[in-house]
Structure 1
């Protein structure tokens, strides 16, 4: 694994416009950064990233199968008791999952370490699935990448196949908050469903209505299957999440993914497989066993997103801290510094669609905590 300078395409802004990449910049700062790239060997991708992702996913499913029968584990995962029956019914029915993203610490000099699993509403999908593949093809054509360069990304094809495989309903609804990144992600996912011969409707979360016991769209058409880019823990705090419509709609992601959309999976996975080479020691805050972490750890709220409310403690003192709105129970995870390349710290987002690893995207930052302003950098296999 190495970080290599890369040319910025002179028609970059036009390419973004043509491909609908409306959030390539954030507040006039580049979010997508193609002035550098990360290069990997095929062995690093297949053995050090793809294979561990498959194993970690299997471990998460095993964890879910145990947690769904254990009230204490459900509480530790932050699943409210009012949702336990729905989670159990969803798990027993094996309601299908679409996707997830494992965030991994990897620098090419040791096993990848799981930082967290984004099992409910992971973003940076379009960038990983489409835009970086377009960048790769341009590089191979224009000569700044070898002609035989490859990339670990079959996300796009996997999403189309997944819609065809497990959602026979021809009409699907998609909803998100009204911001440019969420809209872009939802429109991209809706497009993959269209390519799977589905009829789609896209709307804002606050445009969903209720008629009797059915959610409806703006035309009063019933919503039978809803992809929601809206976290389960938010949904369950809303009147929306307590309404009769919840009993008649199929959600993507399904209710059982509540168990895996929490950083509570980190200590529970460590309890399930202590010493696993791809896990870091982790404990719930306040547990006596957490003393094993010594004087260095990372504190993460059980529910938090985009690097918010994270504290890194080194040798007993906070070295990095982010603000944000998240409070409540937290986990403590062993501090494992991100690798540093030219002063930047990358995190590998390893994607799974259904049950199969199928691609990755890289976010990097000069700071020790990856946040919502960290840049996306493309990769190539050379």
Structure 2
């Protein structure tokens, strides 16, 4: 880790966060998870109506000031979806989709590097010991994104929410993949340090790459959720939309990733593919029986509540998303170990399903739940 310059991966906090054990996964089990993610992505794309009506965007709770950007990016293939992470429940009936983190999925460092390093450190690391092609697929995705937009300069700015070392580390992984794909000119900074102009010669996005030295960037990766931008920075959202329409900047993940990010799409998927073996029953109205309730744009497990078969609600995870529209999804029992910890599979998609990682927790899986590496047996 130190050779790579990744000091953050060996800090005490990270050691406590990454489990000291690995999930044993058969090759057939890994292939089942990867195939499920590929099938689910195809289903997501197939389910989006063309053209996209206002009623559909309203149902998914897409902010109205993003509708133009969503439609434009969906209809122009040069706006490329780089990656996302499927959260899956391994049930006795097979994998079931819990949700898709399509816009700003994290745990890239843990999945791509730390879990592999943990196997190497344990003397069990070889090319066949883990389902983990995440970095290579990210590199391919960046290369394809660049090829689709060959008329733009290969300059890439990566921004994240201020004060988040975790998000900065995720951007560092993406920057390494982009550099390997031919983006020679990159810069990482908090989103507050990015300057956006829609007028005159300064039109575009800029960052101070050195003291008093400002540079314009043609490509932008933002580890900032679209819906948060739309709500908290409406002027910036309008400017970014305008710059996209005139091709002064190309943004990933594209605005249309918000269609996949909205948990309202899970209800739509159930309508389009009723009783599909990879899906859990989901609705925008309360369900009978055992189910969960979660906000359409909730994050990190916040405001998720379990509803018992008799209608009683167990303790809700505290959070700031309780006022959002809610999704109701059939309960799925996660596999548990002898200590009662539940295991949730995360499968990264980057052009194809390419890497697996696990999270475990005695209760609802959140961003603070342990990350568990895996080893193929």
Of 162, 166, 188 in structure 1, the residue corresponding to residue 141 of structure 2 is 162
Give 1:33 deviation, angstroms.
1.3
Quote the residue 1:362 is aligned against.
Answer: 358
In the alignment, the residues of structure 2 paired with residue 21 and residue 260 of structure 1 have an alpha-carbon distance, to the nearest angstrom, of 34
Q: Deviations over 1:240-299 (max 9, x none)?
A: 2122545432111011111111111110110110100110000003xxxx4xx3232100
Q: 8 Å contact 2:290–2:331 — kept in the other structure?
A: yes
SS in 1 for 2:156: strand
Question: Any idea what the Cα deviations from partners look like across 1:173-225, whole Å, max 9, x if unmatched?
Answer: 10101311001001111111112231211111000113324221113322211
Question: How many pairs does the alignment contain?
Answer: 352
The Cα shift of 1:23 comes to 5.8
The reply on whether 1:224 has 2:218 as its aligned counterpart is yes
Give secondary structure in 1 for the equivalent of 2:116.
Answer: helix
> Who is 1:282 aligned against?
282
Kept in 2, the 8 Å contact 1:68–1:87? The answer is: no
Determine the C-alpha separation between the residues in 1 that align with 2:269 and 2:295.
16
2:24 equivalent in structure 1: 39
CA contact (8 A) 2:283 2:327 kept: yes
CA distance in 1, matches of 2:186, 2:97: 35
Hey, what does 2:236 align to over in structure 1? Answer: 240
| SS of structure 2 residue aligned to 1:175 | strand
Aligned partner of 2:374 among 371, 379, 382: 379
Deviates more, 1:224-233 or 1:163-172: 163-172
Structure 1: 5+ residue runs without aligned partners?
1-14
- Does structure 1 retain, via aligned residues, the 8 Å contact 2:65–2:238? no
Aligned in 2, Cα 1:23/1:370: closer, same or farther, shift over 3 Å? farther
Residue 45 of structure 2 corresponds to which residue in structure 1?
61
Distance in 2 of aligned mates of 1:73 and 1:99: 23
5+ unaligned residues in a row in structure 2: which ranges?
Answer: 148-152
- 1:101/1:122 contact within 8 Å kept: yes
The corresponding residue for 1:304 is: 298
Which whole-Å CA distance do the structure 2 matches of 1:68 and 1:31 have between them?
44
Q: Is 2:326 the partner of 1:330?
A: yes
8 Å CA contact 1:103–1:117 kept in 2: the answer is yes
Corresponding residue number in structure 2 for 1:340: 336
8 Å CA contact 1:284, 1:331 repeated in 2: yes
TM-score (norm 2): 0.88
Q: Which residue of 2 aligns with 1:100?
A: 84
**Aligned mates of 1:338, 1:123 — CA distance in 2:** 21
| RMSD of aligned Cα (Å) | 2.1
Structure 1 residue 375 displacement after superposition: 0.5
Deviation by residue 1:51-92 (Cα, 9 ceiling, x = unmatched): 11111000111123x175222111111212232222111111
CA contact (8 A) 2:84 2:349 kept: yes
C-alpha distance in 1 between matches for 2:293 and 2:2: 37
